[in-house]
Structure 1
Amino acid sequence: MASALKEQHAVFLGNLDDSVPKEDVAAMIKRLILQASGLTVELAAIRVKHSRPSRCLTAFVNFSSQVDQRRTLQTLSNIPVIPQGLVKPGRKLKVDIYKPKFSQPQQVNFTNGDSFFKGQQLGNETRILEFKRGGGDLRKQLKKHLAKYTCAFLNSQGGTLMIGVDDTGFVQGVHCDRAQEDQTRINIDDIIHQFDPPVLPQMYQVQFTPVRDESGIEADLNLKVIEIQVNHSRPDTLYETPSGEVYIRRDGSIRGPLRPKDIQEWCRLKFSNNSDSEDTALKNQVDNLQERLQKLESNRQELDSSNNNDVKRTNSTVCTIL
């Protein structure tokens, strides 16, 4: 049963009362779902187990479709009254999409080139997954987000930037017709090709996935999710954006642009796992980055000084001879 749940659409319930028999908890969950969403689930589809770290019971409710899963998640998240004895005293009912845990981060492939449903819940942002709502001018969206997230993924474990999914993980889609799709591919390539060192074509993929309504019909033929999947680069390489900034990825967020001391710390951690030749390559990168940062700072100071002198000359006294 546990393996089947991982392959189906399931909802997770946490903070359940561990002083109540598991059979009674499952029966209460069944009645609660019927009351909240009008859906009837079999007891065989409800798995209750004890969570030792949380010191409570947890449950996984399996559904036959994505629509029923999302409907139950929304209704249980907003239900005003919880049956007495279901939730452990002093806690609140926790409801979420069931997400299997992996020992190592894995690249995400939600659709296999097929489609999304409008309002489909894709889970939470992770070290290898970033959501952006998009909307408006696609070119501005790419200019704002693409360089730094691609850089962070390249310098970390790889990952996927999904434009058209809101911060809570629900698919919304962005308007993108065929001509805009072609132009967007060109814009993405243009930005990524300006990275230093160069990013090879096989190191990233771009996909435009259609968004359909709950019936499986494309409500808007031009509504899509843009997925930019970035592969993990060599461990001895540190990538810069076209503007010379460096980013790395952490759980659900990015860090940067990095300061010279941050880059040194990043390399120090890398040095402990690399060979002498890799250490030398990384050190050379750090030296080059620091030199470029120093030149930028020097140019900025010269520009500020020049602007100040111009202001002083403008304020000089003018004498007029009559």
Structure 2
Amino acid sequence: MGKSSRKRCDVSPQNQASQMTQKRTLYNCFQRQNVWNPNKQICVVRVPKGVEQQRSWRPPAASPQPQRPPVQDHTARHAPAQHIPRVNELDISSCQCLHSGAYIGNETSSIEFKQGTGSYMAKNFSSHFLKYGCAFLNSGGGSLLIGVQDNGVVSGLIFNHEKEDRTRLQVDKMLKDFEPPLLPRNYSLRFLPVITPGNQQPCLKVLCLTFRVSPAIDEPTLYRVGQDHVYVRRNGSVQGPMGASFILEWSRQVWAGKVKQLEQHVCEATSEKSSLAVQLHTIQKTVNQIAADCRIAAAERFSQAAAREEQSDLGSQRSPASCENCRRQTSSQPDLGLGSTPHPELSRV
């Protein structure tokens, strides 16, 4: 009790006034020179020299909440552009140009995509031309597109006039490796221009190589390349080189299909012959009927003419009384000397 009372007695009114003045001074200094650090959440007070620095906790002021960045729709970036038309696989052989970024579709048994970037034209183009060309020719035909990504999106390659001429010479040289030789009707080479926004790269093109099989009326042919290598196209991929067993099986199936096709032609010709025989019988029957009608009509006309002749004959036969009356009428008429004999004197003259 003594210690607590002693402390209370030590606090005089003057000391209390000085302490209040010091607190007020420090408070004013805090109000002018305080700095708020949001990371440490403390108030750092700058005070004049001679005044002890103090730290005091203060409630953080209401700071504005950071705005969240807008959520971007990543699906719109991968969606195909609405203004770029989709190219159908069947239109490849007839289209004249392609749009950059256009979607052609997936690879099938009749179409193959190659991006062709880097040194593709110098290293891989020749081997791919022989391989895919032989496979397409032995599998019903198809197209090899160079300048299209594997996912079917058109990207294009830079083909200037010099590079186009070099590619054409390269293709003409590789055509000699096919057995039997390819005819102009069996293949086509085209450079399809790629339309880019703003014509940034006007030399972008897609190399389109189309291989077509011979017409059905020709003899079935198995194409070979290189050292009698045979390739076929199955399920969107190339298989080969095939062995002798495959060649024999292929020949058996092809000729069996050819025989079946000829048998179908024979059946169609037989049915057509039967229909023509029926038509011929109908025509002959119609002709016979027309001939009979013509004979009946001719007989009727002949009988009518005979009847008219009989009537005219009956009208020409007159009675003797009518003939005597006619003579009397002629004798009663005056003789003008036109029908009598001339006078003897006039005859002398």
With normalisation by structure 2, the TM-score equals 0.47
Q: Is contact 2:99–2:194 with CA below 8 Å preserved after alignment?
A: yes
Cα deviation digits, residues 263-315 of structure 1 (max 9, x gap): 12222221321249x9xxxxxxxxxxxxxxxxxxxxxxxxxxxxxxxxxxxxx
Note closer, same or farther for the CA distance 1:35–1:259 as it changes in structure 2 (3 Å cut).
closer
> Stretches of 4+ moved more than 2 A in 1?
34-38, 107-114
Paired positions, count: 184
RMSD across aligned positions (CA): 3.0
Between the aligned partners of 1:168 and 1:140, the Cα distance in structure 2 is 23
- In the alignment, which residue of structure 2 is the partner of 1:141? 124
Report the CA distance between 1:238 and its aligned residue.
Answer: 0.5
Q: Is contact 2:103–2:154 with CA below 8 Å preserved after alignment?
A: yes
Cα deviation digits, residues 70-116 of structure 1 (max 9, x gap): 79xxxxxxxxxxxxxxxxxxxxxxxxx897xxxxxxx7333845321
Question: For residue 193 of structure 2, what is the amino acid of its counterpart?
Answer: P
Corresponding residue SS for 1:149: helix
Question: For residue 207 of structure 2, what is the amino acid of its counterpart?
Answer: I
- In the alignment, which residue of structure 2 is the partner of 1:174? 157
Between the aligned partners of 1:205 and 1:35, the Cα distance in structure 2 is 41
2:295 is the alignment partner of 1:256:
no
Note closer, same or farther for the CA distance 1:201–1:212 as it changes in structure 2 (3 Å cut).
same
2:135 is the alignment partner of 1:152:
yes
- In the alignment, which residue of structure 1 is the partner of 2:199? 218
Mapping of residues 43-58 of structure 1, within 5 Å: none
Question: For residue 76 of structure 2, what is the amino acid of its counterpart?
Answer: S
Report the CA distance between 1:173 and its aligned residue.
Answer: 1.1
Q: Is contact 1:159–1:229 with CA below 8 Å preserved after alignment?
A: yes
Q: Tell me, which stretches of 5 or more residues in structure 1 are unaligned?
A: 1-33, 39-62, 72-96, 100-106, 279-322
Q: Is contact 2:112–2:144 with CA below 8 Å preserved after alignment?
A: yes
The structure showing larger relative contact order (alpha-carbon pairs under 8 Å, at least 6 residues apart) is 1
Q: Is contact 1:204–1:228 with CA below 8 Å preserved after alignment?
A: yes
Whose strand proportion is higher, 1 or 2? 1
Report the CA distance between 1:117 and its aligned residue.
Answer: 1.6
- In the alignment, which residue of structure 2 is the partner of 1:270? 254
Report the CA distance between 1:218 and its aligned residue.
Answer: 3.0
Mapping of residues 81-230 of structure 1, within 5 Å: 108-110=90-92, 112-137=94-119, 138-213=121-196, 215=197, 217-230=198-211
Cα deviation digits, residues 169-200 of structure 1 (max 9, x gap): 11111221110001101111211232111111
Between the aligned partners of 1:153 and 1:70, the Cα distance in structure 2 is 29
Question: For residue 234 of structure 2, what is the amino acid of its counterpart?
Answer: R
Q: Is contact 1:142–1:188 with CA below 8 Å preserved after alignment?
A: no
Q: Is contact 2:87–2:103 with CA below 8 Å preserved after alignment?
A: no
Report the CA distance between 1:144 and its aligned residue.
Answer: 2.6
Between the aligned partners of 1:186 and 1:204, the Cα distance in structure 2 is 15
Q: Is contact 1:133–1:165 with CA below 8 Å preserved after alignment?
A: yes
Between the aligned partners of 1:243 and 1:176, the Cα distance in structure 2 is 31
Between the aligned partners of 2:130 and 2:164, the Cα distance in structure 1 is 18
Mapping of residues 5-84 of structure 1, within 5 Å: 36-37=75-76, 67-68=81-82
Q: Is contact 2:87–2:104 with CA below 8 Å preserved after alignment?
A: no
- Kindly, what percent of the aligned residue pairs are identical? 34
Q: Is contact 1:160–1:228 with CA below 8 Å preserved after alignment?
A: yes
Bigger radius of gyration? 2
Q: Is contact 2:98–2:192 with CA below 8 Å preserved after alignment?
A: yes
Whose helix proportion is higher, 1 or 2? 2
- In the alignment, which residue of structure 2 is the partner of 1:16? none
Report the CA distance between 1:253 and its aligned residue.
Answer: 1.1
Q: Is contact 1:154–1:239 with CA below 8 Å preserved after alignment?
A: yes
Between the aligned partners of 2:250 and 2:83, the Cα distance in structure 1 is 41
Q: Is contact 1:210–1:218 with CA below 8 Å preserved after alignment?
A: no
Q: Is contact 1:159–1:231 with CA below 8 Å preserved after alignment?
A: yes
Note closer, same or farther for the CA distance 1:196–1:98 as it changes in structure 2 (3 Å cut).
closer
Question: For residue 68 of structure 1, what is the amino acid of its counterpart?
Answer: Q
Cα deviation digits, residues 224-245 of structure 1 (max 9, x gap): 1000011113561011113321
With normalisation by structure 1, the TM-score equals 0.51
